[in-house]
Amino acid sequence: MTETRPLSGVYCPALTPMNADLSLNTAAFIEHCRWLLDDGCHGLAVFGTTSEANSFSVDERMAALDALVEAGVAPAALLPGTGCCAITDTARLTAQAVALGCAGVLMLPPFYYKGVDEDGLFASFADCIERVGSDRLRIYLYHIPQVSGVGLPLALVERLVKAYPDTVVGLKDSSGDWSYTENLLKAIPGFGAFSGSEVFLLANLRAGGAGTISATTNVNARAIRALYDNWTGDTADDMQDGVTRRRELIQGFPMIPGLKHVIAAVRGDPGWRRTRPPLTPLDQAVGARLLDDLATGGFSFAGQPHPAATAATA
């Protein structure tokens, strides 16, 4: 990995478009990723939760990452998710990211077995680090216990940083509990802590955090980037209120199907509504309410008024 300085900014866990047979639509994926970077994202956390990462095989994820880089997306802008239940899968995905020169990886803990102790979690991360065996590896831990069922206690994070200070350099906190990030930054000042929601972006930056990796950057990157760029300014609190209201509106609907419904409507491409089971596309009536709510709230997409019409039928 060529980028060694700590990452900061606004990162997007890019949505993954699919073909009719539910295979990954590589061309649309590349187009979406390029658009996100053009619209203000500093980088892309491809194959995170919002990307439906764990609905794709290791081979599918590796092929998509290769395709992104081959299409000219700079590896230094990529922070792919690599955490799997099997250490060998995690190591394989992580080694690929290192070889491509990605800025880092976003790593879930192994998440099938619940109630495991700190020693077991430490061993899983340590084993992967040793298997990859590269001083260019930069790991951003992924804390999302309400989904994974396996949290990352602060004592574990401190232990990993102590053992691998040049490798374990940050964390994405998607717990929704601001006190976790706050305590983390107090315990490890300067640690690369990203909020998992832009709702906490201003508080995170003021506490010394790195930025945000947020699902709704898929449809609101410009405003979130503006807040990041102006977080020390007089209007920062008002800007935070604006992005928070938009986030709260969107997360009142199923997040991943809802975001895909929005993009399908704006781009006039019903194929964007597709999700891999067990997720299902947003019901058309529900989707219509989401679009109406966004339009009423003054939502814009890439600087254009958002349509207040129902998305095209898939």
The predicted model gives 166-170 an average pLDDT of 98
pLDDT in tens, 195-251: 999 999 999 999 999 999 999 999 999 999 999 999 999 999 999 999 999 999 999
Q: How high is the pLDDT of residue 6?
A: 79
Give yes or no for a contact between 196 and 148, defined as CB atoms under 8 angstroms apart: no
What is d(CA 20, CA 170) in angstroms, rounded to the nearest whole number? 37
* Sequence-ordered list of residues with C-beta below 8 angstroms from that of 130, at least 6 positions apart, any chain: none
Q: How high is the pLDDT of residue 303?
A: 45
- Interstrand relation of 168-173 and 192-195 (parallel, antiparallel or unpaired): parallel
What's the chain's average pLDDT? 93
What is d(CA 64, CA 60) in angstroms, rounded to the nearest whole number? 6
Instruction: Give how far Cα 217 sits from Cα of 106, 198, 237, 257, 291, Å.
Output: 17, 9, 19, 15, 17
Q: How high is the pLDDT of residue 254?
A: 97
| 300 confidence band (pLDDT: 50, 70, 90) | low
Query: What percent of the chain shows pLDDT beyond 90?
Result: 91
Q: What are the φ and ψ backbone dihedral angles of 192, each rounded to 5 degrees? A: -80, 70
Q: Is the pLDDT of residue 24 over 80?
A: yes
Q: Is the pLDDT of residue 306 over 70?
A: no
Domains of the chain (ranges, CATH numbers): 9-235 (3.20.20.70), 252-314 (no CATH)
pLDDT in tens, 66-116: 999 999 999 999 999 999 999 999 999 999 999 999 999 999 999 999 999
What is d(CA 157, CA 175) in angstroms, rounded to the nearest whole number? 15
CB count within 10 Å of CB 236 equals: 17
What is d(CA 142, CA 164) in angstroms, rounded to the nearest whole number? 16
Whole-structure pTM value: 0.93
Q: Is the pLDDT of residue 5 over 90?
A: no
DSSP string, 171-196: EEE-SS-HHHHHHHHHHSTT-EEEES
